[in-house]
Homo-oligomer: A and B are copies of this chain.
Amino acid sequence: MGNCYRKKALKKADKMEEECGIFGMYSNTKDKNLARMSYLGLHALQHRGQESAGICVNQKNKLKVHKGMGLVSNVFDKDSLEKLKGNISIGHVRYSTTGSSMLVNAQPLLTNSIKGDLALAHNGNLVNGQELKNNLEAQGSIFHSTLDTEVIAHLVARSLKDDIKEAFIQSLNQLKGAFSLIAMTKGSLIAARDPFGFRPLVLGKKGNDYVLASETCAFDIIGADFLREVAPGEVLIINDKGIQSRRYSNNKPNTFCVFEFIYFARPDSVIGGENVYLARKRMGKRLAQEMDIEADLVVPVPSSGVAAAQGYSEESDISYADGILRNRYVGRTFIQPTQEMRDLKVRMKLNPISKILKGKDIILIDDSIVRGTTSKQIINRLKEAGVNRIHLAIASPPVRFPCFYGLDTSRRKELIADKKEVDEIAEFIGANSLYYLSLDGILKVLQAENYGYCTACFNGEYPTEENYESKEDLNGTLI
């Protein structure tokens, strides 16, 4: 039954929109051109998505979008950026996953309906996306992409509210799941966050202009000041009448995605008043407290384990070393995606330094394990480099449940911790021992103010499902 459940869940996940970065800006100075600001903002958010990038502006009373496959720096050049002029602008970067890599899925999504032009940039994943799509199709809607975002555009178009902003707000109530949204019409910039607050969304100001972004690091690059977070269940409308805040939903328990702290967010971003790098360092310290084992060196898997490894070393007084070199240049392997390619990918990216590691007992720190295959390859290379004993320490709990709220399921889809016990995983990946940070431990060290967390991937407690009790029951209610 668990298997059946997983399969259905993963099938749902196949159409996920996953991790993305979103950005928006509004200026009352009509002849300001904000596309350049969006470009810089997207550059700062590039870690949230490398598959596609796009920017939309209002230009000559129309919305105009430029988007393409690849990194921000590949999609835009001087010419294409200069052709995008407008005092309202939104941008989007999308995470790369196999299968759905098509231009038609790039965002912002620009559509025209009886309500007028609407552009949408979406981060998150709807639990009821397919259900809504089925309903819409039953009413005669057609779909060009596999994006949840297109569902939202349809709901806006079909709303009984005449005003596009009101229609947008009304449509939010029909969405179930995770979404941080930035939208634009010809005259307004709009932002909304789901009632649970799964995905981040922050509001800032640069001079007299308002800015919205997935993370604060996008404010730093353009020199904007952080004002506050967009609240769960809040919608913001920014136009020539100023900024207006409304609640479109009752209060829900706040369940922010804990993996933003563990892995997704950029170390220099601030979430709930908490710096991400410092949070990760504290996870490493806590891990050291929970583990308390002896070794010669603490070594991170770069770059994901660096902050936690520094914390571990400080707490444990075991010496820290960058014992694995990470090549900063991305190499292409020109091979079909076989098992052999995966080996070469690790080899082109990471290189253990034998002079540092040979004969040593090390504590190898990483942020998480998903399928375990990359860990296995790294440990194999460490052994070739002459490491004596490898204690793998993970600065988060085992990922045992799939995510319905926007995590990368191509990375998460074969969850080794769902199928194996900790000692079995250690054996599989070849570590002498394996440790995970406890769920209790991670929640203790997170210091974001007034924050609750979604920990569904660790314990299966999905916030959007009202009466889950066990994995089995959940199956019944979910599908």
| A360 in contact (CB, < 8 A) | no
| A472 in contact (CB, < 8 A) | no
A266 touching B331, Cβ below 8 Å: no
Nearest-CB residue, chain B, relative to A274: B355
A144-175 vs B, Cβ < 8 Å mask (1 yes, 0 no): 10000000011011100000000000000000
A329-362 vs B, Cβ < 8 Å mask (1 yes, 0 no): 1111010000000000001100111011000000
Chain B nearest Cβ from A335, distance in angstroms: 9
A319 touching B325, Cβ below 8 Å: no
A328 touching B47, Cβ below 8 Å: yes
| A111 in contact (CB, < 8 A) | yes
Chain B nearest Cβ from A310, distance in angstroms: 7
| A230 in contact (CB, < 8 A) | no
Which residues of B lie under 8 Å from residue A310 when comparing CB positions?
320-322
Nearest-CB residue, chain B, relative to A320: B310
| A292 in contact (CB, < 8 A) | no
| A457 in contact (CB, < 8 A) | no
B278 touching A356, Cβ below 8 Å: yes
Chain B nearest Cβ from A356, distance in angstroms: 6
Most chain B Cβ neighbours within 10 Å, of A139, A140, A352:
A140
Bound-state CA distance A72–B333 (Å) is 12
Contact of A322 among B138, B270, B306, B327 (CB under 8 A): B306
| A469 in contact (CB, < 8 A) | no
A308-319 vs B, Cβ < 8 Å mask (1 yes, 0 no): 001000100001
Of A38-46, A201-209, A236-244, A369-377, the one touching chain B:
A38-46
Chain B nearest Cβ from A15, distance in angstroms: 11
Nearest-CB residue, chain B, relative to A226: B354
| A231 in contact (CB, < 8 A) | no
A353 touching B140, Cβ below 8 Å: no
Bound-state CA distance A164–B22 (Å) is 37
Q: Number of contact residues on A: which range applies? A: 35 or more
| A211 in contact (CB, < 8 A) | no
Chain B nearest Cβ from A184, distance in angstroms: 15
Nearest-CB residue, chain B, relative to A306: B322
A31-58 vs B, Cβ < 8 Å mask (1 yes, 0 no): 0000000001001101100000000000
Bound-state CA distance A327–B46 (Å) is 9
Chain B nearest Cβ from A378, distance in angstroms: 14
Which residues of B lie under 8 Å from residue A81 when comparing CB positions?
334
Nearest-CB residue, chain B, relative to A46: B329
B140 touching A141, Cβ below 8 Å: yes
Nearest-CB residue, chain B, relative to A268: B325
Nearest-CB residue, chain B, relative to A381: B220
Contact of A157 among B47, B140, B156, B307 (CB under 8 A): B140
Chain B nearest Cβ from A131, distance in angstroms: 13
A77 touching B334, Cβ below 8 Å: yes
B71 touching A329, Cβ below 8 Å: yes
Most chain B Cβ neighbours within 10 Å, of A72, A268, A330:
A268
Which residues of B lie under 8 Å from residue A142 when comparing CB positions?
111-113, 141, 153-154, 156-157
Contact of A73 among B303, B320, B332 (CB under 8 A): B332
Chain B nearest Cβ from A448, distance in angstroms: 12
Which residues of B lie under 8 Å from residue A78 when comparing CB positions?
334
Which residues of B lie under 8 Å from residue A348 when comparing CB positions?
40, 43, 221
Which residues of B lie under 8 Å from residue A270 when comparing CB positions?
355
Bound-state CA distance A77–B332 (Å) is 8
Which residues of B lie under 8 Å from residue A314 when comparing CB positions?
319-320
Which residues of B lie under 8 Å from residue A352 when comparing CB positions?
268
Q: Assuming A78-B334, A270-B355, is B327 touching A43 (CB within 8 A)? A: yes
Chain A residues in the interface with B (C-beta under 8 A): 40, 43-44, 46-47, 71-73, 77-78, 81, 103, 110-114, 134, 137-144, 153-154, 156-158, 217, 220-221, 266-268, 270, 274-275, 277-278, 281, 303, 306-307, 310, 314, 319-322, 325, 327-332, 334, 347-348, 351-353, 355-356
Known: A73-B330, A140-B158, A277-B353. 16 other contacts (CB 8 A): A46-B327, A73-B331, A77-B334, A78-B334, A110-B144, A113-B142, A113-B143, A137-B157, A140-B157, A142-B153, A221-B348, A221-B351, A275-B353, A277-B321, A303-B328, A314-B319
Provide a sorted-by-A list of 11 A–B residue pairs whose CB atoms are within 8 angstroms.
A40-B331, A40-B348, A44-B327, A47-B329, A78-B334, A81-B334, A110-B144, A139-B140, A221-B348, A268-B353, A275-B356
Question: Which 4 residue pairs of A and B lie closest in terms of their CB atoms, listed nearest first?
Answer: A140-B158, A275-B355, A268-B325, A114-B137
